[in-house]
Structure 1
Amino acid sequence: MTVTRFAPSPTGYLHVGNLRTALFNYLIARKASGQFILRLDDTDPERSKPEYADAIQEDLEWLGLTWDRVERQSDRLDRYAAAADDLRAKGRFYEAFETPVELDLKRKKQLNMGQPPVYDRAALGLSEEEKAALRAERGQGVWRFLLDRGRIEWADGILGDLSIDAASVSDPVLIRGDGQVLYTLASVVDDTEMGITHVVRGSDHVTNTATQIQIIAALGGRLPAFAHHSLLTGPQGEALSKRLGTLALRDLRENGVEPMALLSHMARIGSSQPVELAGSLEELAEGFDPGHFGSAPTKFDVEDLYPLTGRYLHTLPLSAVAADVAALGVPDDLADPFWTVARANITTRADLAGWWALFRDGATPLVADEDRAFVAEAFAMLPDLPYTADTWADWTGAVKQATGRKGKPLFMPLRKAVTGLERGPEMADVMPLLQKKPAL
């Protein structure tokens, strides 16, 4: 069975970059009728916050990305300790005591000599007495995984065949001096024990994947299929990281972006398929294939979400927005005709308020000086409320007869005077919704 996971750290709010990873893993699982696990990477007790964990789940629920179960890494520390003991017993785990300053000096020296800045494994030469002395002086050391210095190769689901020389990579630190288990170890243990079959994440994890492949093998686990999607940039190719604070999913929700608009966009940008508005997550899953995506950085422009949001709203029946319409105070008997008129003229649900205000309170007439006398004469001929679907045609017919105006010089000044707008819905549909008689 296909099993995927999304493993965010509850140290902040989800943003569009996180969503891409979550969505890809979700669609792969759902397309195969498999399982999708939400796994909270909360091994950092200082930075992980319950409110962020709650917010992550709220954002995923808003998008409809339902999970089959939740796992918390903070509940699995015993499993990571057991894995660490296993690696020690196999001679693949060793304690190192260099300070950050010492490591930095080593890297600078290697770079000056034209060598890759890779940890030199000096800790492997320490005697037990030397280790004890360093512990007494500096406290517990970090624990590094001993890599096999060969090539690490795998067939990536997006990037194709990859090969990384392990000699160009430092032995990764898996446990910090304070005992905190780091992502590289926790992720491997979880993926192995939870039967994860597919891992999709950003291309910034490629080196992590290389080292994790060796850790999985050392622990006797089964390799999942890896795929690394491109990273998002701004619309001009600029780094998105500086703007992620404004691209949190809760901010997009607050600004009126509809879930299906966002999901449809994120499921296609960076691929060979055009962005198309999907009607459901099932439809997205059916057509999803990681192999359609490229390796080049993917440009993301939040403004692209609003036309899709408008198109999505245009497809909705009244039942889908009934609560929004009712909250505006629209009478029940006008709810359906109001939504019929408004939905083709809005970008987000927030725009509904402006349309109801226009119908309820009347518009500020938009009248050119040369049309003022004409509009005044026409308004004098406008009957009292209530209006019907025939009111516009009957009224403009009478005005045409009285003034001799016809065509655009007849209809446009009256539209602008009634609605305050140069364009908009059919006036035959507008008139029955008016709650006040238009006046100059």
Structure 2
Amino acid sequence: MTVTVRFAPSPTGNIHIGNARTALFNWLFAEKHRGRFVLRFDDTDAARSKQEYADQIVYDLHWLGIFPDMMEYQSKRVTAYENAVEKLKQAGLLYPCYETPEELELKRKIRLSRKLPPIYGRDGLAHTDKERAELEADGRRPHWRFLLPNYKRDPFEMVRTDISWNDVVRGQETVDLGSLSDPVLIREDGSYLYTLPSVVDDIDFGITHVIRGDDHVTNTGVQIALFRALGSQEPEFGHHNLLTTSSGEALSKRTGSLSIKGLREDGIEPMAIASMAVLTGTSENVTPESSLSELAQKFDPAATSRSSAKFEPGDLVNLNRTLLQAMPFGAARDRLLAYGVFGEKAEAFWLAVRGNLDRLPDAEPWWRIVTVKPEPGAELSDEDTEFLRTAFDLLPEEPWDAGTFKAWVGRIREETGRKGKGLFMPIRLALTGRDSGPELADLLPLLGREGTMARRP
């Protein structure tokens, strides 16, 4: 058996880091088992689903390093769902109901007042053909419910019916179908809710493992019953904890919070996102891994906590900084071209500045400082200006190397008596225009004697 997983986003907005967590859990699981990864767009909501969002999701996944083996759209598989509907109807497992939302809410309150579980009482199942015809003649259109196998003989006498499975993430799980309402599979307008198309697709695509957020745990009992009603063996299931901000705020495609597109545009590296998305809420420390292959070595779905996976969005910048500090020039070279960084100084420049970058685009202003001029705005006192003129007169002759700055500072100290911040800060301001940054010993050879002298006040 080939392990086959799927990631099934709705193309109704840009995916965020929480969605990426699910995608990465599935991708890494498939990688560890040499399996297949299916990207399935749940686009049955025609009003909100857009191709531009689907295209963006594909781009975001590729950018993260996820390349699906197969891609499908539910909107193109309506015939398969119609066949499943007919099969369920023939088996007496799909029945029409005519209540309005207001009527359903009233019935729920009545059941609660009678100390009964607030679940649907299967009133639609009791309608005769004549009653159904009358309801439809009055303009009512049915929604269709799946009859759960939570009774012995009489479907109106529901009993405890446990559905159990060994969850890939959470271990042994059980859902009591007797405590659930028969789920609506088809709306009044004939469109499908999530449950039926998802199960039909999982059957047809040979999905062996469904790994998703733990907000679907209860759904799993219903879906297992539906798999069996359609004559198929259910896949294995795994439910990971949901990613939230440190304050407990949920992430949403609709609000665009922490979208992958937005994080990319903000200069966050894909492996910073992947490391945060996968390792948060597990027994592993959240450290930046350099590749998905390395991340796969740490990935163990069973090591995921049952409590919510809280993270601080600001920590993404810390992970990003750590990744850049260790990034070799070869990995950054082509990307640096977009910021004008090229030529014989490019590698030495990268090694000099990478330890001071939060994001790779931050290299661009440093390249201008090194190759053009310091940033404007640095204010020097008359005393510091006079000190700098003396210091620049003491510049060693070329050739310069990594030890030039130390030799220069030694001569300045002997000549002026300055030391510490009083010596280094004016030099830094004169050379860069900034009061902090890369080691001046690394920048000086990049400037060269001529470039350095050009900055003499």
Determine if the TM-score, normalized by the shorter chain, exceeds 0.5: yes
Aligned to 2:345: 334
Asked if 2 retains the 8 angstrom alpha-carbon contact of 1:153 and 1:163, the reply is yes
Moved more, 152-161 or 197-206: 152-161
Aligned to 1:186: 197
Asked if 1 retains the 8 angstrom alpha-carbon contact of 2:162 and 2:174, the reply is yes
- Map Cα deviations across residues 123-142 of structure 1 (whole Å, 9 max, x no partner): 11111111112122234311
Kindly indicate whether residue 323 of structure 2 is the aligned counterpart of residue 306 of structure 1: no
Which residue, out of 415, 419, 424, partners 1:402? 415
Aligned to 1:154: 165
Asked if 2 retains the 8 angstrom alpha-carbon contact of 1:366 and 1:421, the reply is no
Which residue, out of 283, 288, 291, partners 1:277? 288
SS in 2 for 1:227: strand
- Map Cα deviations across residues 246-270 of structure 1 (whole Å, 9 max, x no partner): 3111001011110111111211110
Aligned to 1:362: 374
Aligned to 1:349: 360
Distance 2:5 2:299 in 1: 15
- Map Cα deviations across residues 116-156 of structure 1 (whole Å, 9 max, x no partner): 22111001111111111212223431110000112222222
Kindly indicate whether residue 257 of structure 2 is the aligned counterpart of residue 246 of structure 1: yes
Distance 1:232 1:390 in 2: 49
TM-score by length of 2: 0.90
- Map Cα deviations across residues 276-321 of structure 1 (whole Å, 9 max, x no partner): 2222212222332110001101112211111111121222222322
- Map Cα deviations across residues 16-56 of structure 1 (whole Å, 9 max, x no partner): 12111111111111110000000111112211111111111
Aligned to 2:156: none
Distance 1:15 1:406 in 2: 50
Where do 1:117-132 residues align within 5 Å?
117-132=118-133
Aligned to 1:18: 19
SS in 1 for 2:53: helix
Aligned to 2:276: 265
CA RMSD of aligned residues (A): 2.2
- Map Cα deviations across residues 305-343 of structure 1 (whole Å, 9 max, x no partner): 111111212222223222333333345111111111111
Moved more, 296-305 or 54-63: 296-305
Which residue, out of 177, 195, 215, partners 2:206? 195
Distance 1:384 1:47 in 2: 68
Unaligned runs of 5+ in 1: none
Asked if 2 retains the 8 angstrom alpha-carbon contact of 1:314 and 1:344, the reply is yes
TM-score by length of 1: 0.93
Q: Write the letter of the residue equivalent to 1:293.
A: T
- Map Cα deviations across residues 56-108 of structure 1 (whole Å, 9 max, x no partner): 10110110111101011112111111111111111111011111111111112
SS in 2 for 1:246: coil
SS in 2 for 1:302: coil
Distance 1:120 1:41 in 2: 30
Q: Write the letter of the residue equivalent to 1:439.
A: R
Moved more, 73-82 or 326-335: 326-335
Moved more, 117-126 or 418-427: 418-427
Kindly indicate whether residue 376 of structure 2 is the aligned counterpart of residue 375 of structure 1: no
Aligned to 2:153: none
SS in 2 for 1:305: helix
Aligned to 2:85: 84
Aligned to 2:50: 49
Asked if 2 retains the 8 angstrom alpha-carbon contact of 1:265 and 1:305, the reply is yes
Asked if 2 retains the 8 angstrom alpha-carbon contact of 1:94 and 1:145, the reply is yes
Distance 1:47 1:205 in 2: 22
Kindly indicate whether residue 299 of structure 2 is the aligned counterpart of residue 288 of structure 1: yes
Aligned to 1:417: 430
Instruction: Label 1:328 to 1:278 Cα distance change in 2 as closer, same or farther (>3 A).
Output: closer
Aligned to 1:234: 245
Kindly indicate whether residue 226 of structure 2 is the aligned counterpart of residue 209 of structure 1: no
Kindly indicate whether residue 450 of structure 2 is the aligned counterpart of residue 433 of structure 1: no
Q: Write the letter of the residue equivalent to 2:288.
A: L
Aligned to 2:331: 320
Q: Tell me the CA shift for residue 173 of structure 1.
A: 0.6
Aligned to 2:103: 102
Unaligned runs of 5+ in 2: 151-160
Total equivalences in the alignment: 440
Asked if 2 retains the 8 angstrom alpha-carbon contact of 1:15 and 1:244, the reply is no
Asked if 1 retains the 8 angstrom alpha-carbon contact of 2:146 and 2:185, the reply is yes
Distance 2:105 2:410 in 1: 85
- Map Cα deviations across residues 335-387 of structure 1 (whole Å, 9 max, x no partner): 11111111111110121112112222124445466544322322344479996
